[in-house]
Amino acid sequence: MAEMAVKKRRPKNLDLPTIRLPLPGILSIIHRISGAALFLLLPFLLWLLQSSVASPESYADARAVVGHPLAKIVLLGLIWFYMHHFCAGIRYLLLDLHKGIELEAARLSSKIVFAVSIALTLIIGAKVLW
């Protein structure tokens, strides 16, 4: 019953408007959202792969789809989601190995994840889409 006593004495802060998600928390929720979005876009990506390798005609179709301004925006978002999931995932693997688990190091590494994933997105987007 000691556990119950401890639970009762724990402070609670459920004043939601005053709770601000720190950067590692924002990284975490984007990791989840990007994973879910990539899952939802799998049929589109598989269709794109299939079209691009099946025949010269379907390759042209795939290129036309990728060349559409609206598709470019979706694909740029997709590349960012992939790069964020990739970089944040590497950070999590390092955290699993107990690398950078201190508060300051974890905050710094989350900043690095955002910087690197956005930079990679812009580079790849510029090369592939424009």
Chain residues that interact with another protein, rule: CB under 8 A: 32, 35-36, 38-39, 42-43, 46, 49-50, 52-54, 56, 59-60, 86, 89-90, 93, 96
* Smallest separation (angstroms) from another protein to the CB of 93: 6
- Within a 10 A sphere around the Cβ of 130, how many other Cβ atoms? 7
Q: What is the DSSP letter of 13?
A: -
* Smallest separation (angstroms) from another protein to the CB of 81: 13
- Decide whether 1 or 42 has the Cβ nearer to another protein: 42
* Smallest separation (angstroms) from another protein to the CB of 69: 20
First-residue to last-residue Cα distance in the chain: 65
- Decide whether 89 or 100 has the Cβ nearer to another protein: 89
Q: Which residues contact 59 (CB under 8 A, 6 or more apart)?
A: 51, 52, 53
Which pair of tokens denotes residue 72? 């470019």
- Decide whether 53 or 101 has the Cβ nearer to another protein: 53
- Decide whether 45 or 105 has the Cβ nearer to another protein: 45
* Smallest separation (angstroms) from another protein to the CB of 111: 20
Q: Which residues contact 19 (CB under 8 A, 6 or more apart)?
A: 13
> Quick check: 30 and 88 in contact, CB under 8 A?
yes
